[in-house]
């Protein structure tokens, strides 16, 4: 049973304007949390607010987590925070075979999934209550790499190393990551393009659970990591058995 109260908690989700982050925001709002969704795109933030309904407990903020001055200013203006979650990832152009990888695309992955999380910890930790947590999003590519996924696999593995190190340095603040498998979210337009549906259906047939993930699956996992006060430095795998096949 989780032991940390969510109702009334102040929770920031970076990258929460779509996909897994949006699903998590809905889950936390339903439980009575005060949620701030931060992201780079004002239009997507407005769409997220519309999708989540008229909540007095929902705020949005424009933030590029790869820019240190923006992250510093964002947390400099915040009061106490209970939990920080990052589901942000800029993988556009990153899924290429090695000869075709452009350094700029690789750098964007590193900035969004490693340097960004590092900055969230650097500036967000001082705002967190001692019972608070930071939860990141890794991915199954770190364990089941495939052609065209070299950069993403490497960065996910690096992020998981960061999680373990921060859990020691920032204790008693808890640092964890959820590692999703294939989840049906908008990010697949960058991964598979027009072959998105066929690609997801093929993976569903391979997985022991018989389907790919949904945003709610990942929201449940992050909700556990937020709420369980005895879990830190942990990578929670939510991938339908993908590591086994």
- Give per-residue pLDDT as tens, 201-235: 999 999 999 999 999 999 999 999 999 999 999 99
Given a cut of 50, whether residue 2 has pLDDT beyond it is no
| 62 and 40 Cβ atoms separated by less than 8 Å | yes
- What six digits make up the tokens of 236? 């929670």
Which positions ≥6 away from 75 have C-beta within 8 Å?
81, 123, 124, 126, 127
**Residue 3 pLDDT class (50, 70, 90 cuts):** low
The dihedral sign for the CA sequence 33, 234, 112, 215:
negative
Let me know if 65 is exposed, middle or buried by CB neighbors in 10 A (0-12, 13-18, 19+).
buried
* Predicted TM-score of the model (pTM): 0.94
Q: Cα–Cα distance between 123 and 134 in angstroms, integer?
A: 12
Given a cut of 80, whether residue 57 has pLDDT beyond it is yes
**Residue 1 pLDDT class (50, 70, 90 cuts):** very low
CATH architecture for segment(s) 10-238? 3-Layer(aba) Sandwich (3.40)
* Nearest alpha-carbon partner for 148 in 202, 88, 197, 99: 99
| 159 and 136 Cβ atoms separated by less than 8 Å | yes
- Which of 28-32, 126-130, 149-153, 197-201 is least confident? 197-201
**Residues 97-137: tens digit of each pLDDT:** 999 999 999 999 999 999 999 999 999 999 999 999 999 99
- In our burial notation (b when 16+ CB lie closer than 10 A, e otherwise), range 35-57 reads bbbbbbeeebbeebbeebeeeee
Average pLDDT, the chain: 94
CA–CA distance from 26 to each of 36, 134, 200, 238 (Å)? 11, 18, 24, 19
């Amino acid at each position: 049973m989780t032991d940390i109260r969510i109702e009334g908690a102040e929770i920031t989700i970076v990258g929460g304007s779509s996909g897994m982050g949006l699903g998590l925001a809905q889950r936390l709002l339903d439980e009575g949390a005060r949620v701030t969704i931060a992201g780079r795109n004002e239009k997507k933030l407005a769409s997220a607010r519309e999708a989540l309904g008229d909540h007095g407990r929902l705020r949005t903020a424009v933030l590029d987590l790869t820019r240190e001055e923006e992250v510093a200013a964002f947390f400099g203006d915040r009061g106490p925070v209970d939990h920080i979650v990052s589901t942000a990832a800029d993988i556009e152009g990153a899924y290429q075979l090695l000869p075709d990888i452009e350094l700029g695309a690789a750098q964007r992955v590193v900035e969004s999934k490693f340097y960004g999380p590092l900055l969230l910890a650097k500036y967000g930790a001082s705002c967190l209550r001692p019972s608070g947590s930071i939860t990141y999003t890794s991915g199954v590519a770190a364990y089941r790499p495939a052609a065209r996924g070299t950069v993403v696999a490497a960065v996910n593995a690096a992020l998981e190393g960061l999680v373990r190190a921060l859990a020691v340095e920032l204790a008693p603040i808890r640092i964890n990551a959820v590692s999703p498998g294939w989840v049906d979210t908008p990010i697949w337009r960058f991964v598979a393009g027009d072959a998105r549906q066929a690609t997801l259906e093929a993976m569903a047939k391979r997985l022991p659970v018989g389907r790919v993930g949904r945003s709610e699956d990942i929201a449940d996992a992050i909700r556990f990591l937020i709420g369980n006060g005895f879990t830190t430095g942990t990578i929670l795998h939510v991938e339908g058995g993908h590591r086994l096949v």
